[in-house]
Structure formats: structure tokens, C-alpha cells
């Protein structure tokens, strides 16, 4: 045996001895029992684990058993407490199982026992169920090993799989509390059937009857649907700061054995089963009372609830959302009828002599109409609907108990489709307006007087407000007589309008007036003028194809007169009527046409003449170029505000204007101006530019 052979045998001996020592310390990797697979090593095939059909996951550990269940599109923890889960986190359990891959399989033996792998008593058992007839899958989770691996067994398979430890981490290291939503889910107002709130103010019971909310217990009256929504929204809007304990054995520790606030909600499920949930708010967490213990309980009890509950903490602002008194929850409307359902309105009122006055309205296919006793005019549809809206929209400002024996001042009866009995509202006089009894309720609704003022208006307020309706293209003549007796007669010929005695007129102002008076509506009808009217009104006459319509109006009071009576005309129509209709340009010259201007005021006289494109003083004095420019620009195309006929006029400034076409004398006073025999009013801006000094 040579040296090389001896060295090789010694080296082989050392290697085998080292392996035997290593193998003794690492029995989980046995050369005899280790099976090495090639290619992808997915633990569960798709047909064995259809991840899209996962229905529930139960995780059983030594200390607790947790079940999460898919309901529709959402995941809930259903054992040991019921709580909404974050869908992404809950779904991830099934995803992690479906994604499991094994690196090795080991057949347990004396050197790697189930105890060594912590699988004789698994650290956790994960059972997954599916929709349909798919068999459940059970996974046993053992200990974790180095390299991000863990031991796992599948159902009755005797082999131990070495898998990636992501499922181990999620099941063993996380807690289901980390998967929970940080908000609660209460029924919506439409789903809820009752709500009971108990706090330091006592117990308030709200019950849904025939789709509408009313008080139960010792309270009476209607409940605001919006208030119920806000209470339920207060539950849904809670933010959970921290989960503390599930199914606590001692509620007193958290002040939940006798909670300071308790809100219990019942709903009728799709299976017609009544489901009850309760929010309990207990003691403050600390002396600052900024955070409180709370609990969301399934069932109506506290310690004896159906499924127990989880204790968590919430902020004071969330607790305060439930501090509502009875009056805060009342429906402030006098009636809950919808405007579209009302078919008749009867208003009985007492006048100053306690004589009853009756107004009857009914609605048919063509709208509202008066019924007996009928007035001598037609009804205005908008005003009838407005009266109904006033009644339906009126809201209580406060509530008081009603006493018997009070004499009503008005009764409103509303008949509606789908209602066997009408709604009856009795109005009683009150220092702050009216107290209203809705049907037979014992609580009075205190309503501001102005809110129901329309109920006491005379029947004239409902008179048809369409005073005139004529097609514009059929009107042949529009005559406006001004208070100073000036007559402006506009006539149409071949589709073109002309103003008699004038070369032109203000077309825009005329069109505005024509359209306004062709379809004229009253703001309201009045029996007599509320104020003194002048004796010099504007008068308007429209003529079209043998038909005519005329009215007069006192501008200060806006009282208009037609043959049928008096009405208040709209301010917008007044503006269009008083606008100047005659052509407002009195100096129809261009700036370059002005050759000279002689300005005279308060004994001063300045003659400006155009030389080399500039206006200079005839005596060589320095001129204010800005003032002169403004003066000439204003004179060129001078427009008036309106034409007048003053009884007298004091002249303060005169302007003699020489143009290429002739000379003009413009006389200016404090109120009026005159050009030849034409008197008018200028805007204060133009008047200022024309009277400003032109010399420096």
C-alpha cells in the first residue's frame, strides 16, 4: 500500500465519521427517509383547494378557537365573537394555504418524532371549508425551523412537510384582532326596526310602524327619520382605537356591567329573523376622560348575549354623538305627506269676529282649482302649490305639551292618496307664532308666525297672476304714456318697429319692455293700495289683431291697475318701463369732427380749438390735457340717461361746440341739461367731465 492509497482511506474515514456525527444531531434530514422532488412542489392542487370557493376558516389553538366566515362579499369573525373583518386580511388566509409549497417531506421516525416537530399536539389546526360539495381541508401546524420554514401535516397524510412559514406567521404570530375593521356596522335606517337608547337622560324607545318612526314607551309623537339615520350613522362612524379583550369575564372592570350609554338596534333579516345588536359605552379609560371603553354586542343582553362581544376603546367625540334628548329626535315637520300625494286642501280660519272662513282647493288631472265656495277668479297654479309647500315645509322650533280647551285659530285638512284618513292640523295662537297639533298628538309644535303666514292670507293671494299673455309677433302697436304726458307710440310695419315722430329709438330697451308686458304677471293682487299713489302714472297700451290690453302703474308704489283690479308689478318690469326708449344719442358726431369748444362757467371762459391734432387755448394759456381729452370724448356721441320736461332750469355751465356739420349750444345745470329745446338728464360721470375746469 503506497502513501497515496493510505491518505485517501484516512480522508474517507474522516468524512464518514463526520457525517455520522452530523446526522445524529440532525435527525429531521434522514438520507433513508428524505424524498426530494423535482420541479414545482405545490402542497395542494387546485382541485383539492379551490381558493375562490373558500367559505370559512377555523383556527384552533391551545388558548382559543377562532372562526372566520365569508358572508356574501364580506368576511366576519363568527367565533368566539362576531366582528367585521378587513376583507383583504381575511382572504389572505386561504390565499396563503393555496400558495403553500414544500421543500422536503419527512416520514417521522425515532430520530424525528412528531413531538420534535411539535405536531403530536399541533400548535394550531387550520380547517378550511368550501361552498358546494368540496371536502374540507385540515392543516396541522407544527414548529418553525431555520431558513423561513415550518413543519406542517395535511389531514391524515402521515408525512411531515417542510413548507415556507408565511402561514405559520399569520396563524401563530398574528391575532384575529389585527384583521378586524376599525369601524362598526349597524343597520341602515331602512333596515332597522327599532332603536332603544339608554343613558343618563333615561330610556328613549324608537319604533318603526308602517315605515315611519314613532316614539314608544312613555314618550309620544313622530320621530325624525333623519335623527334615526344620524344615530345609526353615529355607530357606523365610530373609530375603534384599540381592541382590548374578547368575551370579558368581568364587565365591571370596563364599566360595561351598567353602561353609561347603551344603544340597542333590531333589524329584520332577509330570512325574516330578528337580529339585535347593542353598543355599550362604559367607563373612561383615564382621568382625562378622552377615551372610553365600549363593546359591540350581538343580541339584546349584556353578559348573557348571544355571541358575546369584543371590548375596545373609542374617543369621547364618538361617545357624545348619542347624547340626544327626546325633542332632539322628534320630526319637526307638521305632516309627513308628500306634496305629490295631496289631492285636497281645506283651510278653516277665524276672522276678527270669530266668524269661520273656509277655503277649499282640490287637485285634478289639470292641476289645482277652487271648490265651493268659489271666488270670482281663477286660481294660480304656482301659488296653490306654494301654499301647499309652506304647510308641508313648516317645522317646529320647539315642543310643548298641549292643554285641552284652547281655541284654535285655523284648521288645515290635507287629503292624500293612499291615506284612509286626512291629516288634520289645528293651529292655536301662541306668543311666538302658533302651536300646532298634528292629528291627535298630545305634543304641540311651536312654529314661527312667518312660517305659516300664507295660511292666513286672503283668497285673493291665490288669484291667477298671469295678467296678460299675448304673442309678441302678433302685437302691432305699443303705446307708452309717460307721467309728463309724453306719448311714445311704437308701431310695427313689415316686421320693423318705428317710433312716431322720431328717427330712431333704443331697440334693446324697447325689446325688453315689449317682452315684459306681452307676458305680464303680478307679484301679487291687492284689494286696495297699501300706500298713497301718485296721480301721474305710466300708462301702457298693447294692440294686436283687434285685441287690446292696457294698464297703468304708479312707479314709487309699484301698484298697477287693470280693469280687473289692482296688483303689485315686479321691480324688473318697473326698470324696463322707466328706461329711456327714445334714441339717447344727442350729439351724433365723431371726436375728429369737433373743431372747437367754448367752455364757460362761473365767469370764466375758455375757447379750445383743434390745431395740429391738439386742442389749445385761444389765449395761449396752458390747458389740462386730460380734462380736455375727457371733455371732447364725452361730447362726441353724447348719450343721455333720459329725457325730461322740467318746469325751470338754472344754467351753470355752457358749451358751444363747433363741428364740421354745424354749431351746438349745450347748457348744463345741477340736475338737467339742454341742447336746443331738448331737456335731458346726464349721468353724474358725464356731467362731471363736461363741467371740469380745462385750464391748469
**Counting Cβ atoms within 10 Å, is residue 432 exposed (0-12), middle (13-18) or buried (19+)?**
exposed
Q: What is the mean pLDDT of residues 492-512?
A: 94
Exposure of 10 by Cβ count < 10 A (0-12 exposed, 13-18 middle, 19+ buried)? Answer: exposed
Distance, in Å, from the CA atom of 524 to the CA atom of 325, rounded to the nearest integer, reads 43
What pLDDT sits at residue 440?
A: 86
Question: 213 versus 532: which is more confidently predicted?
Answer: 213
Cell numbers that stand for 659 in this block: 363741428
By C-alpha distance, which of 595, 548, 551, 556 is closest to 574?
556
Q: Residue 190: CB partners within 8 Å, gap ≥ 6?
A: none
Pick from 210, 206, 211, 254: nearest CA to 232: 206
Would you say residue 13 has pLDDT above 80?
no
The mean per-residue pLDDT over the stretch 36-47 comes to 71
Q: How far apart are CA 444 and CA 150, in angstroms?
A: 73
Find the mean pLDDT for residues 532-552.
90
Sign of torsion, CA 500 504 505 511?
Answer: positive
More confident residue, 401 or 388: 388
Phi/psi at 610 (nearest 5 deg)? -85, 115
Task: Determine contact, residues 524/567, Cβ cutoff 8 Å.
Answer: yes
Could you read off the pLDDT of 55-103 as tens digits, one per residue? 999 999 998 999 999 999 999 999 998 899 999 999 999 999 999 999 8
Label the pairing between strands 604-611 and 662-668: unpaired
Give the Å distances, CA to CA, from 294 to 160, 202, 254: 44, 19, 8
How far is the CA of 261 from the CAs of 197, 228, 283, 322, 398, in angstroms?
7, 16, 10, 8, 25
Q: Indicate if the alpha-carbon torsion angle 639, 641, 645, 648 is positive or negative.
A: negative
Q: How many CB atoms lie within 10 A of CB 75?
A: 24
Identify the residue whose cell numbers are 302703474. 553
Q: In the numeric block, which cell numbers belong to residue 34?
A: 428524505
Q: Identify the pLDDT of residue 146.
A: 83
For helices 507-518 and 571-578, the axis angle rounded to 10 degrees is 140
- How confident is the model over 149-168, as a mean pLDDT? 93
Least confident of 142-146, 392-396, 666-670: 142-146
Whole-number pLDDT of residue 525: 95
Find all residues with CB under 8 Å of 406, minimum gap 6, and list them.
428, 435
Give pLDDT tens digits for 246-276: 989 899 999 999 999 999 999 987 777 888 9
CB 437 within 8 A of CB 402: yes
Residue count of the chain: 696
Per-position DSSP letters for 582-607, written without gaps between them: B--EEE---GGGEEEEEEEETTEEEE
Mean pLDDT of the chain, nearest integer? 89
pLDDT band at 40 (very low <50, low <70, confident <90, very high): low
Residue whose entry in the numeric block shows the C-alpha cell 292641476: 367
**Helix or strand holding residue 16 (H, E):** helix 3-25
Distances (CA, A) of 661 to 563, 584, 587, 588, 589: 51, 20, 11, 10, 9
> What percent of the chain is predicted at pLDDT more than 70?
92
Is 447's pLDDT higher than 80?
yes
Strands across the sheet with 160-164, in order? 83-84, 74-79, 65-71, 54-61, 124-130, 137-145, 149-154, 160-164, 102-106
Cα 536 from chain centroid? 51
The DSSP output letter for 179 is G
SS3 content of the chain, % helix, strand, coil (to 5): 20, 40, 35
Residue 518: pLDDT above 70? yes
Summarize pLDDT for 293-307 with one digit per residue, the tens. Answer: 999 987 654 444 444
pLDDT value of position 354: 67
- Say whether pLDDT at 620 is over 60: yes
Query: 625-635 vs 684-691: helix axis angle to the nearest 10?
Result: 130
* Level-2 CATH architecture, domain 466-578: 2-Layer Sandwich (3.30)
Beta strands in 417-518 (DSSP E): 423-430, 433-438, 443-448, 466-469, 477-481, 487-493, 496-499
**Predicted local confidence at residue 528, as pLDDT:** 86
Burial class of residue 329, CB neighbours in 10 A (0-12, 13-18, 19+)? buried
Per-residue pLDDT tens digits for 225-252:
999 999 999 999 999 999 999 989 899 9
Report, at the CATH architecture level, how domain 51-179 is classified.
Answer: Sandwich (2.60)
Confidence tier at 405 by pLDDT (50, 70, 90): low
Q: What CA–CA distance (Å, rounded) separates 283 from 309? A: 16
Could you tell me how far CA 573 lies from the centroid of its own chain? 35
**HSE-CB of 324 using CA atoms within 13 angstroms:** 24
Q: What is the rounded distance in angstroms from the CA atom of residue 532 to the CA atom of residue 554?
A: 10
- Residue 328: all three cell numbers together: 332632539
In this predicted structure, what is the pLDDT of residue 147?
A: 84
The DSSP letter of residue 169 is: I
Dihedral of CA atoms 173, 176, 179, 181 in degrees, nearest 10, equals -150
The pLDDT tens digits of the residues spanning 326-368 come to: 999 999 999 999 999 999 999 999 876 667 889 999 999 999 9
What is the rounded average pLDDT of the residues 438-457?
93
Fold exhibited by the domain 585-691: Dna Ligase; domain 1 (3.30.1490)
Q: Confidence band (pLDDT; 50, 70, 90) for 389?
A: very high
Q: Cell numbers of 59, please?
A: 383556527
Question: Cβ distance 46 to 122 under 8 Å?
Answer: no
- Return d(Cα 676, Cα 128) in angstroms, integer: 106
What percentage of the chain carries pLDDT values higher than 90?
76
Give the residue carrying C-alpha cell 349597524. 186
Coil, strand or helix at 291? strand
> What's the pTM value of the predicted model, to 2 decimals?
0.69
Amino acid at each position: 500500500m503506497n502513501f497515496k492509497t493510505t491518505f485517501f482511506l484516512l480522508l474517507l474515514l474522516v468524512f464518514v465519521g463526520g457525517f455520522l456525527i452530523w446526522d445524529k444531531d440532525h435527525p429531521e434530514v434522514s438520507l433513508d427517509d428524505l424524498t426530494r422532488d423535482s420541479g414545482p412542489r405545490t402542497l395542494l392542487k387546485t382541485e383539492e383547494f379551490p381558493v375562490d370557493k373558500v367559505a370559512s376558516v377555523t383556527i384552533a389553538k391551545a388558548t382559543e378557537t377562532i372562526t372566520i366566515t365569508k358572508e356574501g362579499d364580506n368576511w366576519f369573525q363568527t367565533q368566539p365573537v362576531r366582528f367585521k373583518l378587513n376583507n383583504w386580511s381575511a382572504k389572505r388566509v386561504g390565499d396563503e394555504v393555496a400558495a403553500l409549497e414544500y421543500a422536503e417531506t419527512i416520514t417521522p421516525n425515532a430520530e424525528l418524532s412528531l413531538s420534535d416537530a411539535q405536531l403530536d399536539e399541533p400548535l394550531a389546526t387550520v380547517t378550511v371549508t368550501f361552498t358546494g360539495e368540496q371536502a374540507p381541508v385540515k392543516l396541522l401546524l407544527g414548529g418553525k425551523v431555520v431558513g423561513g420554514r415550518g413543519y406542517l401535516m395535511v389531514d391524515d397524510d402521515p408525512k411531515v412537510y417542510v413548507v415556507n412559514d408565511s402561514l405559520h406567521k399569520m396563524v401563530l404570530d398574528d391575532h384575529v384582532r389585527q384583521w378586524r375593521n376599525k369601524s362598526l356596522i349597524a343597520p341602515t335606517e331602512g333596515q332597522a326596526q327599532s332603536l332603544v337608547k339608554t343613558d343618563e337622560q333615561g330610556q328613549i324607545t324608537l319604533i318603526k310602524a308602517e315605515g315611519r318612526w314613532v316614539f314608544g314607551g312613555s314618550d309620544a309623537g313622530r320621530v325624525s327619520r333623519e335623527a334615526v339615520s344620524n344615530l345609526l350613522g353615529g355607530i357606523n362612524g365610530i373609530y375603534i382605537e384599540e381592541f382590548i379583550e374578547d368575551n370579558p369575564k368581568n364587565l365591571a372592570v370596563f364599566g360595561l356591567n351598567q353602561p353609561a350609554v347603551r344603544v340597542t338596534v333590531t333589524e329584520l333579516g332577509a330570512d325574516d329573523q330578528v337580529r339585535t345588536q347593542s353598543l355599550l359605552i362604559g367607563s373612561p379609560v383615564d382621568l382625562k376622560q378622552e377615551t372610553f371603553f365600549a363593546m359591540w354586542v350581538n343580541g339584546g343582553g349584556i353578559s348573557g348575549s348571544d355571541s358575546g362581544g369584543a371590548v375596545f376603546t373609542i374617543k369621547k367625540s364618538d361617545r357624545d354623538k348619542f347624547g340626544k334628548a327626546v325633542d332632539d329626535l322628534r320630526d319637526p315637520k307638521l305632516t309627513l305627506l308628500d306634496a305629490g300625494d295631496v289631492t285636497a286642501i281645506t283651510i278653516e280660519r277665524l276672522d276678527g269676529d270669530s266668524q269661520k272662513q273656509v277655503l277649499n282647493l282640490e287637485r285634478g288631472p289639470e292641476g289645482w282649482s277652487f271648490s265651493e265656495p268659489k271666488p270670482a277668479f281663477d286660481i294660480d297654479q304656482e301659488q296653490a302649490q306654494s301654499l301647499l309647500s309652506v304647510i308641508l315645509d313648516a317645522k317646529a322650533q320647539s315642543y310643548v305639551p298641549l292643554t285641552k280647551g284652547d281655541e284654535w285659530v285655523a284648521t288645515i285638512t290635507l287629503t292624500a292618496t293612499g291615506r284612509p284618513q286626512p291629516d288634520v292640523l289645528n293651529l292655536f295662537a301662541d306668543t311666538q307664532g302658533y302651536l300646532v297639533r298634528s292629528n291627535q298628538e298630545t305634543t304641540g309644535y311651536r312654529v314661527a308666525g312667518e312660517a305659516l303666514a300664507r295660511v292666513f292670507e286672503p283668497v285673493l293671494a291665490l288669484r291667477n297672476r298671469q295678467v296678460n299673455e299675448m304673442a309678441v309677433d302678433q302685437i302691432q302697436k305699443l303705446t307708452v304714456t309717460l307721467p309728463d304726458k309724453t306719448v311714445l307710440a311704437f308701431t310695427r310695419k313689415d316686421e320693423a318697429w318705428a317710433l312716431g315722430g322720431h328717427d330712431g329709438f333704443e331697440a334693446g330697451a324697447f325689446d325688453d319692455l315689449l317682452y315684459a308686458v306681452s307676458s305680464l304677471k303680478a307679484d301679487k293682487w291687492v284689494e286696495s293700495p297699501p300706500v298713497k299713489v301718485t296721480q301721474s302714472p305710466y300708462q301702457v297700451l298693447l294692440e294686436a289683431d283687434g285685441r287690446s290690453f292696457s294698464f297703468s302703474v304708479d312707479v314709487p308704489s309699484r301698484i298697477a291697475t287693470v280693469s280687473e283690479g289692482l296688483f303689485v308689478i315686479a321691480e324688473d318690469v318697473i326698470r324696463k318701463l322707466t328706461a329711456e326708449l327714445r334714441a339717447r344719442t344727442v350729439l351724433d358726431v365723431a371726436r375728429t369732427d369737433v373743431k372747437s369748444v367754448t367752455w364757460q362757467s362761473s365767469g370764466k371762459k375758455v375757447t379750445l380749438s383743434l390745431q395740429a391734432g391738439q386742442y389749445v387755448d385761444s389765449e395761449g394759456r396752458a390747458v389740462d390735457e386730460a380734462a380736455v381729452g375727457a371733455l371732447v370724448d364725452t361730447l362726441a356721441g353724447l348719450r343721455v340717461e333720459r329725457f325730461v320736461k322740467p318746469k325751470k332750469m338754472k344754467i351753470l355751465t355752457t358749451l358751444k361746440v363747433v363741428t364740421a356739420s354745424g354749431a351746438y349750444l349745450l347748457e348744463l345745470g345741477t340736475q338737467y341739461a339742454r341742447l336746443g329745446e331738448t331737456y335731458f338728464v346726464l349721468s353724474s360721470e358725464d356731467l362731471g367731465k363736461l363741467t371740469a375746469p380745462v385750464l391748469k
